[in-house]
Chain A
Amino acid sequence: MKTLITFFALFFLFSCSQPEPLYKRQLYTFGTLVELTVYGGERQLAEQAFDKVALQLEEMHEQWHPWQSGELAQLNRGIKDGGVEVSASLLAMLKQAGELSASSGGLFNPAIGQLVRLWGFDKEVASEVPPPEAWINTYIENNPRMVDLKYDGNKVSTESRTVAIDLGAFAKGYAVDRVVEELQGMGITNAIVNAGGDLRAFGKHGERPWRVGVRNPRAKGVLASIEINGNESVFTSGDYERFFLYKRKRYHHILDPRTGYPATGVSSVTVIHDNAATADAAATALFVAGPKQWPAVARSMGVSEVMMVDDKGEVYMSPTMEARVKFEGEPPKAIWISPAL
């Protein structure tokens, strides 16, 4: 009987312990919806952090837009005419983007800003018609690359007539990394920063790890769930994010720098990596690489956790990703596991 009494006593004791509070803030910034989630700690600290991050994201978005009035837009305007002095932060960003572009074999290529503009994917509302084939071909022949950028101290220039920088496949990840640094610097220990579906999480949700649902690129709802270990980013590039339909064909925003057209054969690529900027660039590069080439590109970019859904709904995964992914609902019709990366 004593055991039973002890059991009940313990049961009620644990049932009464209050979970720590969860703080959330939604922000419309960076051209998307940003959701900040903090577990535990004082409300005041979380609110202060949210206010600070809101300003930080606004500032970054303004500075990093390729064609508006910020620093990157100024660089794009003056890059061919003797070059432009840039801030230390933009310089660091360009160099990291250049390294990732090189390790991706040019499949992640932020130098194709003019091509992105030609397609209209730099605007909030995409075009309705693809650009003329001749324009695209001329552009591709010029082959703009990140290695065409010349650095002289803080001065960035190029001799290429076609190079223009669009950090679209990278800036969000880079920004999420900066926001996480800010939150951690303020003493926050458990949080998720989700910028338009791409996220980095650190710490835990109390006793359990953070749980992330990966959306199904074709059917509605969640395809799989992933538990976050400590401090990781989960980034997905999908053909459903920005696209337009022309003569019944889907033209999405992930352009293949080799052809000038949207990459084909893939619906979505999800990458887990501790660095959000790397995860962001890799998700784009592997999408362009396609179902055959992606393992080689992932290896070269130092990315080991990858899940790809192709245009037939078949799933490709690295072994380390497979170990972590739990499919929700109906499992995919085929799952292909790559050799270890």
Chain B
Amino acid sequence: MNRVDYLLAAIVLVVVASAYVIFWGGYLRGDYAVIKVAGKEYETVALSQNIELKVEGALGLSILQIDDGRIRFDHSPCQAKQCIHSGWAEKTGEVLACLPNRVTVAIEGMESHFDSINF
């Protein structure tokens, strides 16, 4: 192996290592939200858009707000409003849920940063 080979090998290593970090490591912010109603997939939306989404659940309409790469329950027909109190979700693996209305929102990314969330 001559000097050029060493140089090439070094460049390849750096490229591969940084690609690994970019695509697999530290990818905290999610790319899209998977919305389910009563366990069935309802819609998958990208978090890159700023929109309001109406989701018909078991009790009525839940309104989800997507803003600046985050998503939250903005309005809910449930009594306790726990879903609204949970606030924004943006990281892969995070889940928002309105149990009475049977609506869940799971943040997913290129590869989930967390396998499960404890709370």
Contacts and interface: CB of A to CB of B under 8 A. Distances in A.
Interface stretch (A26-34, A58-66, A81-89, A104-112): A26-34
Nearest to A238: B119
Query: Secondary structure at chain B's binding surface: helix, strand, loop or mixed?
Result: loop
Interface stretch (A144-152, A215-223, A284-292): A215-223
A37 interface: yes
A124 B100 contact: yes
A282 interface: no
Nearest to A208: B115
Interface stretch (A94-102, A177-185, A191-199, A311-319): A191-199
Contacts of B102: 28
Interface in B15-73: 16, 28, 36, 38-39
A3 B4 CA distance: 12
A197 B119 contact: yes
B118 A7 contact: no
How extensive is the interface on chain B, given as a class? 20 to 34
B39 A236 contact: no
Query: Secondary structure at chain A's binding surface: helix, strand, loop or mixed?
Result: strand
Contacts of A32: 99
Nearest to A235: B118
Nearest to A216: B119
A197 B5 CA distance: 52
B100 A212 contact: no
Interface in A264-288: 270
Interface residues of A, number: 44
Contacts of A124: 80, 100
B118 A212 contact: yes
Nearest to A35: B116
Among A125, A220, A226, A238, the most chain B Cβ lie within 10 Å of the Cβ of A220
A205 B115 contact: yes
Given A11-B16, A33-B97, A211 B91 contact: no
B29 to A, nearest CB: 10
Among B5, B38, B89, B118, the most chain A Cβ lie within 10 Å of the Cβ of B118
A162 B89 CA distance: 43
Contacts of A263: none
B86 to A, nearest CB: 8
B118 A199 contact: yes
Contact of A220 (B12, B87, B117): B87
Contacts of A226: 118
Contact of B1 (A3, A212, A241): A3
Contacts of B87: 220
A222 B9 contact: no
Contact of B118 (A25, A27, A125, A213): A213
Contacts of B104: 26, 33
A4 B8 contact: yes
Contacts of B88: 220-221
A12 B95 CA distance: 35
A10 to B, nearest CB: 11
Contact of B9 (A4, A25, A211): A4
A307 B94 CA distance: 20
A214 B118 contact: yes
Interface in A10-64: 11, 25-28, 32-33, 35, 37
A225 interface: yes
Contacts of B91: 213, 221-222
Interface of A: 1-4, 7-8, 11, 25-28, 32-33, 35, 37, 124-126, 192, 194, 197-199, 201, 205, 210-215, 220-222, 225-226, 234-236, 238, 240-241, 270, 328
Given A4-B8, A236-B118, 4 more contacts: A8-B12, A213-B118, A214-B117, A220-B89
13 contacts: A4-B1, A4-B5, A7-B12, A26-B36, A28-B102, A124-B80, A125-B80, A126-B80, A194-B118, A212-B114, A213-B91, A213-B94, A222-B117
Kindly list the 5 A-B residue pairs having the minimum CB-CB distance in the complex, ordered from nearest: A215-B119, A197-B119, A213-B114, A220-B87, A234-B118
